[in-house]
A and B are shown apart, each in its own frame.
Chain A
Amino acid sequence: MEEYLISCRDLGKSFPGCRALNGINLELPRGRIIGLLGPNGSGKSTFLKLCNGLLTPDRGELLVCGSRPGVESKKHVSYLPERSYLNDWMTVEQMIGFFKDFYADFEEARAYDMLARLAVDPAKRMKTMSKGTKEKVQLILVMSRRAQLYLLDEPIGGVDPAARDFILSTIITNYNPEGSVVISTHLIADVENILDDVIFINSGNIVLCDSVENIRAKQDKSVDMLFREVFRC
């Protein structure tokens, strides 16, 4: 088993008129819950898209679960994208069937259990649901897999505080010493208590990479406060 779930060297990606990632170096170990934190447009989603093969790097090297992003890595990575890719006309039940066909590690019973706990009706079509409910369904699908690596792009942005608590406790319950979870968000105060480590990213560069406890012990302030200082506008 590889020591690192993600390792990248000099990873760079540019778009016309914009350097999204500026040659970053990173190694993510197993058994950690990691916050990928940065202001809007800092490169968080670009990094996660590269890890999932939705974008290809311009330069550098990237290994996810030991291989380049592709069919093999996708077996081990459960990804929540920043926007919905589910088919609007499908019901939740149909989506669950879809995921079951696609992923060998999908656990149907877990999905139904979480749906019941969040009071989402599985017979409903996606297009009849509110934005927040759609996000809940999407996250439930992603968290119902037994993956090694969960890459969650803004998992708590659009849901109400009660659902937020539920999502965070799902992440804790799901914790596995062999696997890791990466949460990209700017709602730092909400997530920082459940994180092991944080990565601050700004304009495509990693500006800080440390454990939450180190930051609090050294700086006598929360990660949220540190973030506000580092990224003061």
Chain B
Amino acid sequence: MAWNLQSDRPIYAQLVEQLRRMIVTGVYPAGSKLPAVRELAVEAAVNPNTMQRALVRLEEEGLLYAQRTSGRYVTEDNEKIMEAKEAMAAELISGFVSDMMRLGYTREQTIRLLEKKREG
């Protein structure tokens, strides 16, 4: 998995998004163990404290949990993961719709274009 960090936004926020995406897409499946903070930091080439903060944030969201001695795991609660996935989809869709509106398409026209796309 390649990490892709943009230079004009806080790194922390980008790490949260990308880790969330990895959980939702099953790179780290439900119940699996996450690599150690330092390993993840090396992989993403970021500061270990920043990576740590991002992981704590995902714990607060309930997508990860820490086990005192053995490390960090992805939640076993599939519903929780689905929720996160749906939230991401909703965000993508509203971004897309507002882009289309900026181009001058109404909501209905946009949906029609999408359906046309599906037909081929």
Complex Cα spacing A188 to B50, Å = 18
Q: Mark A12-42, 1 if CB is under 8 A from B, else 0.
A: 0000000000000000000111000000000
Q: Kindly count the residue-residue contacts between A and B in the assembled complex, taking CB atoms under 8 Å apart.
A: 54
Expressed in whole angstroms, the Cα–Cα distance for A189 and B8 within the complex equals 11
Place the interface of chain B in its size category. 10 to 19
Residues of B within 8 A of A169 (CB): 42, 45
Q: How many residues of A contact B (CB 8 A)?
A: 24
Could you name 14 residue pairs across A and B whose Cβ atoms are closer than 8 Å?
Answer: A172-B42, A172-B48, A173-B38, A175-B38, A175-B41, A175-B48, A192-B7, A194-B45, A196-B49, A212-B11, A213-B50, A216-B8, A216-B9, A216-B10
Main secondary structure of the interface of A (DSSP, over half): helix
Would you call B9 and A220 a contact (CB within 8 A)?
yes
Q: Which 4 pairs between the two chains have the least Cβ-Cβ distance?
A: A222-B7, A216-B10, A175-B48, A169-B42
Cα separation A140 to B110 with both chains bound (whole Å): 58
Residues of B within 8 A of A (CB): 5, 7-12, 38, 41-42, 45-50
Measured in the bound complex, the distance between the Cα atoms of B20 and A206 in whole Å is 38
Q: Does A217 contact B (CB under 8 A)?
A: yes
The smallest beta-carbon distance between B18 and chain A, in angstroms, is 13
Told that A189-B7, A196-B49, A216-B9 touch, could you supply 11 new A-B pairs with CB distance under 8 A? A31-B49, A172-B38, A172-B41, A173-B42, A175-B38, A193-B5, A194-B45, A195-B47, A196-B50, A222-B8, A225-B8
